[in-house]
Amino acid sequence: MMTKTYGYFVELLGVVLIATSSSASANPENITDAEMALLPRYCPYTQSFSKHGAPEVSRWVNAMGKDFTHMHHYCWGLIHLGRSERATLSSAKRRSDREEAILNFRYVIKTVSADFILLPEVLTRLGRTYLLNHEPTKGEQSFAKARALKLDYWPAYFHWAEYLLSVGQKSEALEIIKSGLQHSPDAKPLNALFSKLGGKPSDIPPPLKKEALAPDESGPQENGSGTR
């Protein structure tokens, strides 16, 4: 009887652990002012942060819609990701912080609507974190989803091309950059990397009509200002 009960307990514990590992992490503890300064402008107004009850919250809800209610998980993920970059961390702790970031990014991706304005950004950040975690296949999938959602979102091309170049796949990197420049011809990072690799302007397909860009109220995009 005890063996049967013990077996049931072990099975139940396994279910609980699986469920826990697939959910988003808890609020990061002891968040510093320095960490807050590195977050997007809207983060202090999301759930669990100090300004969540402030009147300015309505501004961000108006800009992002109802899915703004989930964005504290993205902010938590960014904090965990920032902590993973500390030079003094053990490899185990570094990977643990990256896993926490991944859980939070995945929570947002799973929970928000398909047309959420910042979904391409979250997918791209997830892709970059997968690369740091030595999971390039998952990273590639995340970048591809971001590009499919917003064809002119240049970071989703740039960061994957950077990785391809780092592993010696120059021709594949060039193809990704050319595709990005076709949709976002004015993206300076893409143009700079294209020139660095010896790309010729005549190789780039004619630009396509741009999609509407996200409004400034959406928070900082990866344009070289205000991002990690």
User: Rounded to an integer, what distance in angstroms lies between the CA atom of residue 117 and that of residue 66?
Assistant: 11
Handedness of CA 135, 140, 145, 149 (dihedral sign): positive
Question: What is the pLDDT at residue 205?
Answer: 78
Question: What is the pLDDT at residue 34?
Answer: 96
DSSP 41-79: TTGGGSTTSTTTTSTTHHHHHHHH-GGGGGTHHHHHHHH
Question: What is the pLDDT at residue 202?
Answer: 81
Question: What is the pLDDT at residue 19?
Answer: 38
Question: What is the pLDDT at residue 3?
Answer: 46
Tens of each residue's pLDDT in the chain, 228 residues: 444 444 433 343 333 333 344 455 668 999 999 999 999 999 999 999 989 989 999 999 999 999 999 999 999 999 999 999 999 999 999 999 999 999 999 999 999 999 999 999 999 999 999 999 999 999 999 999 999 999 999 999 999 999 999 999 999 999 999 999 999 999 999 999 999 999 888 888 787 665 444 443 333 344 333 333
Question: What is the pLDDT at residue 92?
Answer: 94
pLDDT tens by residue, 20-58: 444 556 689 999 999 999 999 999 999 999 899 899 999
Fold assignment, 28-147:
1.25.40
User: Rounded to an integer, what distance in angstroms lies between the CA atom of residue 152 and that of residue 156?
Assistant: 9
Where along the chain do the CATH 1.25.40 domains lie? Answer: 28-147
Q: What is the pTM of this model?
A: 0.80
